[in-house]
Amino acid sequence: MYYVIGHITVKDPAQWAEYRAQVPATLAPWQAELVFRGERHAVLGGCHTHTDTVVIRFPSVEAVDGWFHSAAYQALIPLRLAAADVDLISYAAS
């Protein structure tokens, strides 16, 4: 399995809600699943400035790359950039 983890700091709640509402349709063609979405409770070690996190599971690295580079997701990036500061990282589960 492969995962995309997003660390998020929302700048515009209305635009962020619009972005979040549109993302699931971009995931469906890649058999991706939203695993977790939540707000930070506490930083227990180190430094973490973002307030929110999302975890999305993908069946393959090809699905991760296909989703991220798809026209559907690329069309949402300007909205994401206006709505929040987001660090997106992909991981291979071991």
Q: Which burial class, exposed, middle or buried, applies to 39 when counting CB atoms under 10 A from its CB (0-12, 13-18, 19+)?
A: exposed
DSSP 34-48: EEEEEE-----SS--
Fold (CATH) for 2-92: Alpha-Beta Plaits (3.30.70)
- The pLDDT of residue 29 is 98
Would you give per-residue pLDDT tens digits along the chain (94 residues)? 999 999 999 999 999 999 999 999 999 999 999 999 999 999 999 999 999 999 999 999 999 999 999 999 999 999 999 999 999 999 999 8
